[in-house]
Amino acid sequence: MDRELALEFARVTEAAALASARWMGRGDKNAADDAATEAMRAVFDTIRMDGRVVIGEGEMDEAPMLYIGEKLGTCESGDLDFDIAVDPVEGTSVVAKGLNGSIAVLAAARRGCLLHAPDMYMNKIAVGPAAAGKVHLDAPVEQNLRNVAEALRKDVEDLTVVILDRPRHEEIIRRCRSVGTRIQLIQDGDVAPAVATAFPDSGIDMMMGIGGAPEGVIAAAAIRCLGGDMQARLCPDSPEEEARCRKMGLEDPRKILLLDDLVSGEGVIFAATGITDGSLLKGVKITSQGALTHTVVIRGRTGTVRFINALHRLEKKPYFGRGRCDCEEE
């Protein structure tokens, strides 16, 4: 069933990417997200599984679709029970501005195997298989860089580290530059760069910094499948957020979360489709013949990685309204 579901999940992220891509560069990030969410939800409802959203668009009173706790799929409880983490558009502002690096992404695992991360900040560090076990979240930045360089048989000056371009990362950036490490600053969306660390030809060796906790769990699913390494720590900034962490079962909200704490079990599946071009995936291209998508699907049980290039037939209309996908799978 994992094999069949992996391809079904590819259909889910393809639909979301196609719908969101209609809004590229049009300045409306909410419309891009709404379109992707609606398309993703529609395909989920055709899949034979008993799915439950554990990371989604928000609580039930905040999100009309793909809310936390929402049931997905056509089956009742049974052998096909999965927890689902979704981000219909990772990088909504990126899509709205027509920039690079946005994806539609999901992760799935057997019930209880995904950390139910609250919507708050998380400090993360991620590397690929060759550097697994060589980094620590509390180690000095310089030490982590030297360890990764040694593991990859590179000079520190030849490493490429991805960091979100935020004022909170000024010290990390300064310390990376002090040892000569190359830095790729991104505006939004750290899932794809984290996953890209596990692909030697991506050009990305390491991802570090503070980003979203839900995105951290989704990235951890792929990194686990690929044999990489990731550590994280939640960053609650209020008593209310600390209470949410404890409600999740984390007695110490600021403990270091290892990869097994974020994602466990073998039945993990990760799928992502590019919306705009990035280091890992190409974005949606609309041609006279239809729309081209580029998707990666990863299965934890076998470690299989599939890159899927697909051509989708598009219904031609003079205007594609809000929330419309207007695509038909070929």
- 3-state DSSP call for residue 6? helix
Token digits of residue 98: 């027509």
The Cα–Cα gap between 273 and 119 comes to 23
- 3-state DSSP call for residue 197? coil
Closest CA to 309 of 330, 289, 328, 294: 294
Which residues have a Cβ under 8 Å from the Cβ of 201 and sit 6 or more positions away?
Answer: none
Establish how many alpha carbons lie within 13 A of residue 320's alpha carbon, considering only the half-sphere containing its beta carbon.
Answer: 19
Beta-bridged to residue 124, according to DSSP, are 209, 232
Residue 90 is labelled as binding a ligand: yes
Residue 33 is labelled as binding a ligand: yes
For residues 82 and 107, the answer to whether their CB atoms sit within 8 Å is no
For residues 293 and 18, the answer to whether their CB atoms sit within 8 Å is yes
Residue 57 is labelled as binding a ligand: yes
To the nearest 10 degrees (0 to 180), the angle between helices 141-152 and 170-178 is: 50
Residue 330 is labelled as binding a ligand: no
Residue 228 is labelled as binding a ligand: no
CA angle 188, 192, 195 (to 5 degrees): 140
Residue 266 is labelled as binding a ligand: no
Beta-bridged to residue 314, according to DSSP, are 327
Residue 233 is labelled as binding a ligand: no
Residue 188 is labelled as binding a ligand: yes
Residue 92 is labelled as binding a ligand: yes
The Cα–Cα gap between 309 and 128 comes to 24
Residue 91 is labelled as binding a ligand: yes
SS3 for 240-257 is HHHHHHHHCCCCCCCCCE
Residue 215 is labelled as binding a ligand: yes
Identify the DSSP state of 200. G
Residue 236 is labelled as binding a ligand: no
Residue 76 is labelled as binding a ligand: no
Q: Which residues are annotated as a binding site for substrate?
A: 90-92, 121, 166-168, 188-190, 212
Q: Which residues are annotated as a binding site?
A: 33, 57, 87, 90-92, 121, 166-168, 188-190, 212, 215
Q: Which residues are annotated as a binding site for Mn(2+)?
A: 33, 57, 87, 90, 215
